[in-house]
Amino acid sequence: MQQNDTYILALDQGTTSSRAIVFNQNGIVIGIKQIPFNQIYPKPGWVEHDPFEIWQTQYDAAVGAIDAAQIMPSQIAAIGITNQRETTVVWDKHTGKPVHNAIVWQCRRSSSICQELKAMGFEKEIRSRTGLLLDPYFSGTKLVWMFKEIPGLRERAERGDLMFGTVDSWLIYNLTGKHVTDATNASRTLLFNIHEGRWDQDILKMLKIPAAILPEVKASSDDFGYTRKDLFGCEIPVTGCAGDQQAALFGHACFEVGASKNTYGTGCFALMNTGATPVESKHNLLTTVAWDLGKGYTYALEGSVFIAGAVIQWLRDEMRVLSDSAESERLARMVKDTGGVVMVPAFVGMGAPYWDPEARGATLGVTRGTTKAHFVRAAIESIAYQSRDLLVAMERDSGAAIPFIKADGGASANSFLMQFQADILDKPVILPEVGEVTALGAAYLAGLKIGYWSSMEEVERNWRRKRDFMPEMAGETRSRLLERWAKAVEVTRLFK
């Protein structure tokens, strides 16, 4: 294929905004458009999105990115999709209309359902088959909640009148009319057997979920259909799809066993490539499908922090402490430390390695001398502490030391956070030249399918480092800070 005047479009549908990016063959951003959308909080701990707003903002972003790149839609060789994972959408097969708002991955409304399933002794079996814990984070129990709370929904599903999907499926349906997903997204639903590569009939029976509602599972680099002609004026093949964290791992070219990355977005997500063998965690991490190039699964260990960059958004939007997110770094640098303040931002419970859905946020160590700068610095440091907890658990599970971490995500632009992360980890943190790693991973998956990139080796050559943050903190200081963090987490989990 002649690539000189063709490009790959990546749709990057996130938790707080929809983005689209046009890449060239060197993995360089040619055009970008980002559109935020509304967050809906019906009750404490509940989070929803409007599925139509997700689709509309994503489509508008795609058109905007093509315009920004100053190219024609016909020059887009293929589209890759990456998305917020676990967020659950159910829509009518005949009308395409959602039956309810999307229930977001952060939403804790199915906590009681998880507790009931645990009490029935189902957790061990579900974990061994799916690699996941019984937690409201995942799609399966969100779907159970919808069947319990929306009258007539189960009957409509059993008749084959409904479609279920994570956000990738919802986007692909609106782009192409097809009801499909990929293995990475399927592996986050609590319904997919990651060892056998299929929807698990026993779990579906356990949760009373009709199989007819589920999408077809394809490889991450595969044929997902062609876009409707009325969308872009031409039919464009959709050939790549992966959940956002797996796409970031791929975009970082973490192709070797043991290679690891941490994404600093709304949440914080650390993944380690474990190769063709799924590693069962002994430290409350998740085992997940990293990608499928059509030649068998590559697996990963994953740890998830639910509130990372979202703590800065909270300071800005709800607390009105910041005028914009960038101000957080300036304030953090105004003080030499937090003045003894520790923040544990468990606003929607705690993820790995604690998995405590009922925990709620706490700020400890506040004195009369505490200032706004101390408060903001404690919030930023909380992101690094939580990430360290994940990475230490990863090392224990794998039995190998992680030499360095590749970092990406919006909050990785905060140099104070990146330096503190290197200090508290006592490991280098490396930023890539192209920061849009998640979208780039989706682009690579799409481009590999059509031969736009010839091989993973070519993808690896495209990865370039921008900056290394080296640890500078004294060991004694690190130990003291970690001890205080551990105490704060313990106190937070006691208060419910």
Residue type, position 335, single letter: V
| Confidence band of 272 (pLDDT split at 50, 70, 90) | very high
Asked if pLDDT for residue 296 goes beyond 60, the answer is yes
Which of 90 and 1 is assigned the larger pLDDT?
90
Q: Which residue has the tokens 């606003």?
A: 347
Distance in angstroms (rounded) separating the CA atoms of residues 216 and 8: 24
Give the per-residue pLDDT at 2. 40
Residue burial 356-388, b: 16+ Cβ < 10 Å; e: rest: ebebbbbbebeeeebeebbbbbbbbbbbbbbbb
Instruction: For the chain, give every domain's residue range.
Output: 7-242
Give the per-residue pLDDT at 4. 65
Contact between residue 321 and residue 375 where contact means Cβ atoms under 8 Å apart: yes
Predicted structure pTM score: 0.87
Cβ neighbours of residue 108 closer than 8 Å, sequence gap 6 or more = 45, 46, 136, 348, 349, 357
How far from 179 is each of 169, 227, 378, 461, 487, CA to CA, in Å?
6, 13, 44, 35, 47
- For range 104-109, the mean pLDDT: 90
- For range 257-280, the mean pLDDT: 89
Q: Using one digit for the tens of pLDDT, what is the confidence trace for 393-445?
A: 998 888 878 889 999 988 899 999 999 999 999 999 999 998 889 999 999 99
What DSSP string describes 272-334? Answer: EEEETSPPPPSSS-EEEEEEE-SSSEEEEEEEEES-SHHHHHHHHHTS---SSTTHHHHHHTT
For 317, the token pair is 């939007």
Asked if pLDDT for residue 1 goes beyond 70, the answer is no
Residue burial 86-117, b: 16+ Cβ < 10 Å; e: rest: bbbbbbebeeeebbbbbbbbbbbbbbebbeeb
Asked if pLDDT for residue 270 goes beyond 90, the answer is yes
Residue type, position 464, single letter: R
Helices 437-450 & 244-251 angle (0-180, nearest 10): 80
Distance in angstroms (rounded) separating the CA atoms of residues 464 and 291: 22
Give the per-residue pLDDT at 73. 96
Asked if pLDDT for residue 357 goes beyond 80, the answer is no
How is residue 5 annotated by DSSP? Answer: T
The strand pair at 102-103 and 48-49 is best described as antiparallel
Give the per-residue pLDDT at 434. 87
Reference 354, options 398, 401, 393; nearest CA is: 393
Give the per-residue pLDDT at 235. 96
Q: Using one digit for the tens of pLDDT, what is the confidence trace for 120-156?
A: 999 999 999 999 989 898 999 999 999 999 999 999 9
Asked if pLDDT for residue 496 goes beyond 90, the answer is no
Contact between residue 132 and residue 138 where contact means Cβ atoms under 8 Å apart: yes
| Confidence band of 265 (pLDDT split at 50, 70, 90) | confident
Give the per-residue pLDDT at 435. 84
CATH fold of the domain at 7-242: Nucleotidyltransferase; domain 5 (3.30.420)
